[in-house]
Structure 1
Amino acid sequence: MSGLTRKRDLRSGRPLWLATRQPATPHRPLTRSIKAEIVVIGAGVSGALVTDALLLAGHDVTVLDRRGPVRGSTAASTALLQFEIDTPLIQLGRKIGKDNAIRAYWRSTTGVDYLRHRIMELGIACDFAERETLYLSGDQLNATALKREVAARQKAGLRSIYLDRGELRRISGIERSGASLSRGSGELDPVKLVTALWRSASLRGARILSPVEVTDIASRRGGVDILTSAGHEIAARNLVIATGYETPKFLKRSDLKIVSSWAYATKPQTRALWPERRLIWEASDPYLYLRASADGRIIVGGEDEDFSDEAKRDALLPQKVEAIGRKLKRLFPHVDVTADYAWTGCFGQSDTGLPLIGALPGRPHCYAVLGYGGNGITFSAIAAQIIQRELAGHQDPDAKLFAFRR
C-alpha cells in the first residue's frame, strides 16, 4: 500500500552530527488501533518543536514516524540559525509586499529567540551559541545592491550594518567587495537538539510510535481518521503533518521544489578559524555557507542544484566536496580544507524562501508544516508557535504570511 507522503532517501554520507552517539529516543511500535487528541506525523526537528509547543499548551500528543526519531534529514542540516531568509528583504518585498516582507524577517528573528529560550528552559546541551552573520556580496547581489539591502533592513529596525571592502578585510580577513554584518543568529548541533526534545516530550507524556507508515487520512466531523499500512486506525481530533521534504502526495504546488545540497566538515583547526566564528554565506547562486563546530571544525556546504534522484545526488558527493573546498580555500587560503566528514541531503525551496504553515485547505482538522527554505530549524520554531495558537483557537498575528492558500 502506498504511503501518504513521497518517500525519499533524505541523506547519505557521514554527517558530522552522527559521530557522537546520542541517548536512545523512547519509541515503540503501534500494535492496535487507538484514539488520540493530536497526532503529529514526523519525528524530525519540525515534529519535535511542534510537539514540544503542544505539550506546553497541555495537549495530549501522539507522534508517528516511518523511520524513527531523528532518522530523516535532521542529521543533514548544517544548523545555521539565521534570521536572514534566502530571499533578500528588497526582493521579498517585491514578491509579497514591503510590509509583509518586513514582518517575515522580524518573525524569523523571533524564531531564533524562541529556540534560544526553549533550549535554556529545557536545559538542552546542544552546543548552542549566539553568532553574528556575514552575508557576502556575490553574483546575485553585488556591493551596490547589498548596500541597498542593508539600508532596507536598517529602516525596518533589523540589526544589520554594511561593510565595505576594507572594513570586511579588517574584521574577517575576507577579500570581497562588500558584506552585511548582522546580529541575532546562532548555531547548534541539530541531532543533540532533536534527540533531547524527543526525550523531554516522552517524559512529559507524548507517545512516540515508530516505525509506522501512514497510508491515508480522512477528515470527518469532529476529527480525522489516520490509516496505517499495518491496517491500524488512529482516530484523532487534529492532525499535524511535519514530514519535512517528504511532502504529502495530495499537495501539488508549482511553487515548491526539492533541491540537493552537499556539505562537509574539516578536522578540528581552532587556531585557523576566522574571528568571532561568525556564520558566513554569500549572495550567489549556488551559494557557499559555513560555520564552525564546537570542537573547531569548519562546516561548509553549498553547490545546491535541483534534485533528480538519490543515486545521482550521492554519486556527485566527491565532486561537490572538491568544488566546495576550492571555494573555501579562496575565502580562507590558510585553512586546511580536507574533508573529515562529508554528506549530502534533500532540502526544499519555495519561490519566496518562506515556509508553509497552517491549516490544509479542504481538509478540516489537518495542519501541515513545510519548512521550505534555508532556515529550516528557525522556520520550525515559527511553526511551533503558529500551530500551538491555531489549535488553541487563537489567531497568530503572522499566520497569514505562511498560510496555505487554495
Structure 2
Amino acid sequence: MDADTAELPPPRSLWVDTAPAPDRRGRRLPPDADVVVVGAGIAGLTTAYLLAAEGRSVLVLESGEVASGVSGHTTAKVSAQHALKYRYLERRRGADDAARYGRSQLGALDWIARTSAELGIDCGFRVLDSYVYTTDSAQLDELKAETDAAQRAGLPASFTTDVALDVPAVGAVRFTGQGQFHPRQWLLGLAEHIERLGGRIVEDVRVTGVDEWPRPLVRTPRGSVRAGDVVIATHYPILDRGLFFARLDVVRDLVLAGPSSAGKPPPGMYLDARTHHSVRGHGEGEDAVTLAGGEHYRTGDRQDVQARYRRLARWAAEHAGLHRVTHRWSAHDMSTPDSVPYVGRYHPVARRLWVATGFGQWGMTGGTAAGLLLRDAILGRENPAASLYDPNRLDPRSAPAVAKDNATVARYLVGDHVRALATRSAVDDLAPGEATVTRIGTTMAAVYRALDGETRTLSARCTHLGCLVAFNNAERTWDCPCHGSRFALDGTVVQGPAVRPLRRLDGEH
C-alpha cells in the first residue's frame, strides 16, 4: 500500500524516537554560573560545550528535554548549500559577505565532522554531495548563476545534469563533501561531554525572564541564577527586547520517514529549487530510511495540516520510493529579512546578554556556526563573521520585508478576531477530534472536543502578545500565527516565544 493511502502514524520524530536520553529533570539549580545557556538545541549545546572546554562554568536550562525541540525535529542536513543562497547574498550583501557566510558554514560542517570523530560520538555522520535541482528549464539560468556565485564564494560548487532521484530534473547545483547525521545522537553526545567538563544541564525548567543589570539574573519558577553571561538559544527569543518579534518570519515544514526502497537510501541530499521538496537518507542496509520534506506553511495559519501530510506522502511515494511511513513530524523554522541569522548581542546596549536565532531551515550548520561565534564573542576574541551576523545590523533594504511581515501579523490579529466572533455556535457542532476558536460570552476561547466527547476549553489569546491561536489538526496543538508560539491541548507551552500557558476556561460555559 502506498504512503498516500495508508494510515499515517501519529506525529513522532524519528530522531527523538531512536535516541533515548537520560532524565535530567528535577536537578537543583546552582546559585550562579559563568555562563547560563537557555535552550538545549544545537546552538545552545554547541555554545555550552565550547565554553566548558575553555574552562568556564556552564549551566544549560531546557524547558523540555535535551534535543527534543526544534533540533530534534529537522531533516538534519549538515551542509553549506542553503538552497539558492549565494547569488542572493552576493547581490544583497556583496561578494565579501557571501564568502564570509560560506566560510562560516563550511567551518561549522568541518567542526562537526572533526569533533564527532575526536569525541567518539556515534551519530552516523556521513559525507555526501548535496544538490539543489530544478525540473523547470526556465530556471536553469538561475541555477547556473548560483553555481558561479558559490564558486566565487570559495564553495565546492558545480553545475550538473546528473541527479540520482526519480524526478525529471534538468539541472542542479551540486556541493561536494557535505554531510548528514543523526542530530539527537550528536547533541546527546555533546551534552554528555559538557557534563564531563563540569557543566550542568537541567531539564524541565522554563526561564521566565532575565534581569541584565547590574549582573545578569536568570529567573525561573524554581529559583534564580546569577550569571556572568546569558545566551538565549531558544530558537525564537523568549525575551521581548531587541524587537525580534518584528524581524522574524515563522514557518513549519513537514517531514516523513520510512524504510528505504530495497534497503538503499538516496545517494545524496536533494532539494527542489521551486517546490522545496527535499529528500535524503539515513543508515544503511536493513536500517536504511528515507526522509522526505516539504509542504511548508506559516505557523498558526488556518491550514488542514493532515491534508498537507497526505500530499507530501503522495509525492514521496512517487519520487523518493517512500512507500511506508513510520515517522512524521514538523520542522519549525524562522527566517530574517535578509536571510542571515542573528547571532551576537541581544540588543544594541547589551553587555552580557547574547542571542542566536533565525537560521531559516539550515540550523545544523547555522546553529553550530552560532556556537563558534558566541564562544569568541564571550571570550573577547575576534571572529571574522561577527559583523555579518550582528543582530543589531542596520539594513534599510530589509524595511519592505519587515513591513510586509508585520502587516501579515496585523491581518491575523484583526481577521482572526472577526472570524472567531462569527463562530459562536460552532462548539455544539464539533465532532470528536475537532476544534474551533470562538467567542464564549466576552471571552475568546479555544475549544477542543476530545475523543471521549468532552470539551477542553482554553483562552484563545496567545500569552506572548495576545494574537488568537489556531488549531493544528496533525500535531493536536494550538499554534499562534503571529510569532509562532505553540501550546498543548492542556494549554502548556510547547514552543516559545510564549513562556506562560494558555488560561484554562473549563466549566465557564
Within a 5 Å distance, the mapping from 1:87-126 to structure 2 comes to 87-126=84-123
Which residue matches 2:28? 30
C-alpha distance in structure 2 between counterparts of 1:391 and 1:368, whole Å: 11
Distance change (3 Å), C-alpha of 1:370 and 1:138 = farther
Distance change (3 Å), C-alpha of 1:129 and 1:385 = same
Amino acid at match of 1:176: A
Cα shift readout 1:228-274 (whole Å, capped 9, x = no counterpart):
223x2211111111111354333424331111111010224344544
Amino acid at match of 1:51: A
Which residue matches 2:299? 307
Cα shift readout 1:29-63 (whole Å, capped 9, x = no counterpart):
335x7121111111122111111111121111011
Say if 2:218 is the partner of 1:226.
Answer: yes
321, 327, 346: which is aligned to 2:315? 327
Amino acid at match of 2:160: L
Is the 2:33–2:226 contact (alpha carbons within 8 Å) kept by the matching residues of 1?
yes
Is the 2:84–2:143 contact (alpha carbons within 8 Å) kept by the matching residues of 1?
no
Cα shift readout 1:114-155 (whole Å, capped 9, x = no counterpart):
111111111101111011011102579811111111122223
Say if 2:7 is the partner of 1:19.
Answer: no
Distance change (3 Å), C-alpha of 1:140 and 1:124 = farther
Amino acid at match of 1:178: G
Amino acid at match of 1:257: D
Amino acid at match of 2:239: P
C-alpha distance in structure 1 between counterparts of 2:55 and 2:194, whole Å: 12
Amino acid at match of 1:207: R
CA drift of 1:172 comes to: 5.0
C-alpha distance in structure 1 between counterparts of 2:345 and 2:364, whole Å: 20
Distance change (3 Å), C-alpha of 1:280 and 1:382 = same
Say if 2:130 is the partner of 1:133.
Answer: yes
C-alpha distance in structure 2 between counterparts of 1:83 and 1:25, whole Å: 33
C-alpha distance in structure 1 between counterparts of 2:26 and 2:35, whole Å: 18
Q: Secondary structure at the match of 1:281?
A: strand
181, 192, 202: which is aligned to 2:195? 202
CA drift of 1:102 comes to: 2.0
Distance change (3 Å), C-alpha of 1:252 and 1:138 = farther
Is the 1:216–1:227 contact (alpha carbons within 8 Å) kept by the matching residues of 2?
yes
C-alpha distance in structure 2 between counterparts of 1:90 and 1:348, whole Å: 21
Q: CA RMSD in A?
A: 2.3
The more displaced of 187-196 and 238-247 is: 238-247
Is the 1:227–1:234 contact (alpha carbons within 8 Å) kept by the matching residues of 2?
yes
C-alpha distance in structure 2 between counterparts of 1:139 and 1:304, whole Å: 20
Within a 5 Å distance, the mapping from 1:165-176 to structure 2 comes to 167-168=162-163, 174-176=167-169
C-alpha distance in structure 2 between counterparts of 1:300 and 1:19, whole Å: 17
Q: Secondary structure at the match of 1:339?
A: coil
C-alpha distance in structure 2 between counterparts of 1:109 and 1:63, whole Å: 26
C-alpha distance in structure 2 between counterparts of 1:25 and 1:246, whole Å: 25
Is the 1:153–1:160 contact (alpha carbons within 8 Å) kept by the matching residues of 2?
yes
Distance change (3 Å), C-alpha of 1:176 and 1:125 = same
Within a 5 Å distance, the mapping from 1:346-365 to structure 2 comes to 346-361=332-347, 362-365=349-352
TM-score by length of 1: 0.87
Is the 1:85–1:105 contact (alpha carbons within 8 Å) kept by the matching residues of 2?
no
Distance change (3 Å), C-alpha of 1:210 and 1:18 = closer
Cα shift readout 1:76-120 (whole Å, capped 9, x = no counterpart):
111011101245211122222222112112221111001111111
C-alpha distance in structure 2 between counterparts of 1:244 and 1:138, whole Å: 33
Cα shift readout 1:318-375 (whole Å, capped 9, x = no counterpart):
322222233334535xx24331211124221222332111112222210111152121
| Consecutive unaligned residues in structure 2, runs of 5 or more | 1-9, 394-509
| Consecutive unaligned residues in structure 1, runs of 5 or more | 1-11
Aligned-residue sequence identity (percent) comes to 22
C-alpha distance in structure 2 between counterparts of 1:345 and 1:154, whole Å: 30
Distance change (3 Å), C-alpha of 1:303 and 1:217 = same
Q: Secondary structure at the match of 2:212?
A: strand
Higher relative contact order (CA 8 A, sep 6+): 1
Distance change (3 Å), C-alpha of 1:213 and 1:172 = closer
Q: Secondary structure at the match of 1:118?
A: helix
Which residue matches 2:79? 82
C-alpha distance in structure 1 between counterparts of 2:186 and 2:370, whole Å: 17
Q: Secondary structure at the match of 2:288?
A: coil
Amino acid at match of 1:343: W
Which residue matches 1:3? none
C-alpha distance in structure 1 between counterparts of 2:317 and 2:203, whole Å: 43
Q: Secondary structure at the match of 1:13?
A: coil
Count of residues in Structure 1 that have an aligned counterpart in Structure 2: 379
330, 348, 352: which is aligned to 1:344? 330
C-alpha distance in structure 2 between counterparts of 1:85 and 1:352, whole Å: 14
Which residue matches 1:287? 276
Amino acid at match of 1:200: H
Which residue matches 1:278? 268
Say if 2:362 is the partner of 1:375.
Answer: yes
Q: Secondary structure at the match of 2:326?
A: strand
C-alpha distance in structure 2 between counterparts of 1:273 and 1:130, whole Å: 14
TM-score by length of 2: 0.70
Q: Secondary structure at the match of 2:327?
A: strand
Q: Which has the larger radius of gyration?
A: 2
Is the 2:62–2:205 contact (alpha carbons within 8 Å) kept by the matching residues of 1?
yes
The more displaced of 246-255 and 119-128 is: 246-255
Distance change (3 Å), C-alpha of 1:20 and 1:267 = same
CA drift of 1:175 comes to: 2.0
Which residue matches 2:185? 192
Distance change (3 Å), C-alpha of 1:336 and 1:393 = closer
219, 223, 226: which is aligned to 1:235? 226
